[in-house]
Amino acid sequence: MYEVEMKLRADHDPLRQRLTAMDADHIGGVTQTDTYYDAPDRDFAETDEAFRVRRETDHPKDGRDLDHTDATAGDKRVLLTYKGPLVDDTSKTREEAETRVAEEAELEAILAGLGYEPAATVHKNRDRYEVGGCRVTLDRVDEVGEFVEVEHHDPVAETEIEGAREAVTDLLVELDLNPGESIQTSYLGLVLAGR
């Protein structure tokens, strides 16, 4: 299945106002710590792939953001994700496989045993909305700033990519954003470029 999304730099305050005017459903916020791994058998930067472990914590119901070290927060999840190479040059469409992990320490032992080594970590706070069949995520990423991601709500088959991309592009226009300013560089890439 394919994830279809577009990402832009954006000031969050006007976007929140626009989303409210559109009657978007606010579905809450999360704090995420993404650890990306290097593989022993290939260079993910060369193959345009990504392999990560995401530690995700729900924001409290009072809506405040969390520091990534806050241990008093809501529900916590650990997710293992593989992302394939980008399939076009206008969006961040790529094959994605993700699963929830029950035992984080065992996962780390498996990765170490197979020769996977942590390469970099990205910390972010996300505020999520749903509107028009898409998820709109307002991201504040440590070291690189504020962004918006608009993602087709559900992963799609290869034959459905174009329709999903059109829905994402149309929603960006409704949000008074320019799809032509879409950024294909991952947050990991942006963080590494800033170092």
- The predicted pLDDT at position 70 comes to 54
- The predicted pLDDT at position 36 comes to 96
- The predicted pLDDT at position 72 comes to 52
47 close to 17: Cβ distance less than 8 angstroms: no
- The predicted pLDDT at position 65 comes to 54
- The predicted pLDDT at position 74 comes to 65
Residue 131's CB is within 10 A of a number of other CB atoms, namely 19
pLDDT string in tens for the chain (195-residue length): 899 999 999 999 999 999 999 999 999 999 999 999 999 999 998 999 999 999 999 987 655 555 545 545 568 999 999 999 988 888 888 999 999 999 999 999 999 999 999 999 999 999 999 998 999 999 999 999 999 999 998 889 999 999 999 999 999 999 999 999 999 899 999 998 886
- The predicted pLDDT at position 49 comes to 93
Q: What predicted TM-score, i.e. pTM, was given to this entire model?
A: 0.86
- The predicted pLDDT at position 61 comes to 63
- The predicted pLDDT at position 59 comes to 87
User: Residue 83: beta bridge partners?
Assistant: 50, 96
Distance CA 92, CA 87 (A): 8
170 SS3 class: helix
Maximum alpha-carbon separation in the chain: 51
The total number of structural domains in the chain stands at 1
User: Residue 94: beta bridge partners?
Assistant: 3, 86
- The predicted pLDDT at position 92 comes to 86
Domain that holds residue 93: 2-193
**In sequence order, what are the residues at sequence separation of 6 or more whose Cβ sits closer than 8 angstroms to the Cβ of residue 16?**
127, 138
CATH number where 174 lies? 2.40.320.10
